[in-house]
Amino acid sequence: MNYTKKPKVIVVGAGVAGLTTGIYLLDNGFDVEIYEKHYIAGGECTGWYRKGQYIDGCAHWIVGTEPTSELYPLWEHIGAFDGNPEIFPTEYLTKFQLKDGRFFTFYSDLDKLENEFLTFFPEDKRAIKRFLNTVKVYRFTHIPVKKPLDLMNWFQYLAYGISLLPMALPFAHYKHVSLERYIRHFKNEDLKSIFLRFLDPGYNIHSFFYVCQTFSKGDAGVVEGGSLAMMQRVAENFKRKGGKLFLNTPVDEVLIENKTAYGIRLENGQELRADYVVASTDAHHTLNKLLLRGKVRDKGFERQFKDDKANPVHSSMMLAYRTTHNMTDYPRMMDFMIDKPFNWMGCDYTHFAIRNFTFDKSLPSQNGETLLTVLLPTNEKVYQSLKALSPSEYKEKKAEFAGIFTKLILEKTGLKEDELELLDVTSPLTYERYTNAYKGSYMSFVTTDKTHGLMRPGLIKGLKNFVIAGQWIMPPGGLPIALFSGKHAAYRITKMAGKKFLNKEEKALALLKRFSIGR
C-alpha cells in the first residue's frame, strides 16, 4: 500500500468514463493520474481534421442535454458544457425516403410523430397507438446515477424500484422481443422498413423505446463544436482540478500481487504504483491484455464475448465529405433507399443515411464548407475480411467502398461532382487501432432478445483495489453509460478507501435550487 497524504488512483484510458472517474475522485480527495495511449483525450468520443476540415467521429446526439434530466448535472459537473456552448435541439431523428420517393419525418415530439404516422400509414392506426403509448410509459425510465444499485441501502433500492413501476409490465412483456418480431404488428411494409433502417432486426425493441422516449423529452441535443471540443473541455476541467493526464502513454498491464492491484506497467517498461487502479478501456482489452494477458478472469464477460449470437457488437464504416454547396435547406439527417441493394464484403446495404452539419457554424473548415458524414453498419465478416488484407489492399478496399457511396450521394442529393470532396474513410480497424476497440466496435454489446442481465458492477471477483468503468458495463453502451459508470467507479473506489462519497454535483444543484427559490 502506498501511504501518501492522499490515496493515489491510476486510471487507464482518458475517454468519457476515465475522465469522469478522475474528476469525481478528485472531488473526494484522491490523487489521480490518467494514462492514455492516444495523443488526445476523449476515447471514442472524438473528432479529427483533414485538409483543414473538422470531422466529428462520435455523437449524433448527447443524451442528457435537457437541464432537468438525470444525466445533465453529470455532464455539467465534468465540464462538458463549460463556456456555455449552444445545445442544438433535435427536432427529428431522421427523414426517411420511402419507396415512392416521399420522405417520412420521424419527429421527436410524439404528437407530431403520431400525426405523421397516421398521415402515411392510416391502416396501422391501432399498432401505431400502441407503439406511442409504450414510448410514453418508457419515459418513466430512470438511470441510477447517484450510486451503484448494489451499494444502495434497502430504502434507496425500494424507492428506485417504485420509480420504475409504471414501466414494469411493458418491460417484462418486451424483455425478449426483437425488433424483427415486434414489427410484425404493422401491415405497411414502408413502416416496417423505417424501424429496420433505424436498428438491426435482432435488436431488442427496448432499445428503440428508450431512444424514442429520450427524444420525446427533448433530452437528446447536439453540443456546439462537436465531440472533440467537448472532450477537450472535460480534460481541461480534470487538469484544472489537480489531475495529471499523460497522453501518448500506452499501458501494458495492471500490476497485481496477492490478488490486489497495486499499479501499472507502461509499454516502455516503466512501473507506476498506486493504491487503486481503474480500467476504463475496452472491456475485451482490459480482460485479455491489461489483466495479466487474461490470467485474471471474469466468467460473466467471458460468456458475453464468447456468445456472439446473443451478444453481437456494433461496428461501422464512416465516410466524411465536405461540400461547397449551400446545405441550409437540406435536412440535418436524411436516410435514402438504395435502388439496387448490394453486398460488400459480406454485408448487405439497402439504404444509407447522411448527416448534414450545416446547423453548427462553429465547426472549423477551410473556406466555410459544410461537413457531411455517412455512417454505415458493418458486421463480423467485414471486420475479418479487412483484417486479413495487406495495407495496400486495405487502402484499395476503402477507396472502393467510398466510390460506391459517393456515386449514390451525388445521385440522391443532386450535388455536383465538383461540389463534393471525400476527406476520410474510417473502418472498424480505425477504431481498433486508436482505441483498442473490440472488433472495431464503437459501442458495447447489442441488446438482443437473448440478452441476459443488464448492468454489471465493474468488479472482478477475487481482485482487490481494481474497478472497471466504461460503456461495456451495460449494453448497448454509448456515452450515457460511459458517463455514469465513471461516477460509479469513483463511488466504489471511495468506498474501498473507507471514505464517504462526496457528491459535489448534487451539492451544487441544491445550492442552485435554494438560490432560485430565494430569488
Residue 379 corresponds to which cell in the numbers above?
Answer: 458486421
- Domain total of the chain: 3
Whether residues 172 and 236 share a domain: the answer is no
Any domain includes 58: no
Residue 202: give the domain boundaries: 109-217
CATH code at 462?
A: 3.50.50.60
Per-residue pLDDT band at 509 (split at 50, 70, 90): low
Share of the chain above pLDDT 70, in %: 96
Any domain includes 91: no
3-class SS of residue 469: coil
3-class SS of residue 103: strand
For residues 352, 354, 355, 357, the Cα torsion angle rounded to the nearest 10 degrees is: 170
User: What's the rounded Cα separation, in Å, for the pair 174 and 157?
Assistant: 23
Q: How far apart are the first and last CA of the chain?
A: 50
Identify the top-confidence range among 86-90, 163-167, 289-293: 86-90
User: What's the rounded Cα separation, in Å, for the pair 170 and 130?
Assistant: 11
Whether residues 426 and 395 share a domain: the answer is yes
Residue where one domain finishes, among candidates 201, 217, 233? 217
Any domain includes 18: yes
* pLDDT tens, residue by residue, 364-415: 888 889 999 999 999 999 999 999 999 999 999 999 999 999 999 999 999 9
Whether residues 337 and 292 share a domain: the answer is no
Any domain includes 492: yes
Give the chain's mean pLDDT.
93
Helical spans, DSSP H, in 414-519: 428-435, 479-496, 504-518
Give 394-429 as a 3 state SS string: HHHHHHHHHHHHHHHHHHHHCCCHHHEEEEEEECHH
User: What's the rounded Cα separation, in Å, for the pair 211 and 204?
Assistant: 12
- What's 101's DSSP letter? S
Contacts of 495 (CB under 8 A, 6+ apart): 151, 501
Whether residues 149 and 254 share a domain: the answer is no
Any domain includes 3: no
45, 15 Cβ separation under 8 angstroms: yes
Whether residues 26 and 130 share a domain: the answer is no
Residue where one domain finishes, among candidates 154, 184, 217? 217
Which segments of 154-243 are extended strands (E)? 220-223
Any domain includes 99: no
Q: What's the confidence (pLDDT) of residue 453?
A: 64
Q: What's the confidence (pLDDT) of residue 516?
A: 43
207, 171 Cβ separation under 8 angstroms: no
What Rg do the C-alpha atoms of the chain give, in angstroms? 23
* pLDDT tens, residue by residue, 426-459: 999 999 999 999 999 999 998 887 777 668 899 9
* pLDDT tens, residue by residue, 454-495: 688 999 999 999 999 999 999 888 999 999 999 999 999 999
Average pLDDT (227-252) is 98
Whether residues 120 and 206 share a domain: the answer is yes
185, 130 Cβ separation under 8 angstroms: yes
Whether residues 244 and 184 share a domain: the answer is no
Q: What's the confidence (pLDDT) of residue 515?
A: 41
Contacts of 193 (CB under 8 A, 6+ apart): 96, 98
Any domain includes 406: yes
User: What's the rounded Cα separation, in Å, for the pair 321 and 318?
Assistant: 10
Whether residues 329 and 394 share a domain: the answer is yes
Task: Report the DSSP beta bridge partners of residue 331.
Answer: none
User: What's the rounded Cα separation, in Å, for the pair 277 and 281?
Assistant: 12
* pLDDT tens, residue by residue, 104-135: 999 999 999 999 999 999 999 999 999 999 99
Q: Which amino acid is at 138?
A: Y
Any domain includes 59: no
Whether residues 323 and 431 share a domain: the answer is yes
Whether residues 207 and 259 share a domain: the answer is no
Residue where one domain finishes, among candidates 185, 217, 249? 217
Other CB atoms within 10 Å distance of the CB of residue 82:
15
Whether residues 488 and 339 share a domain: the answer is no
Cell match 477537450: residue?
232
Whether residues 246 and 350 share a domain: the answer is no
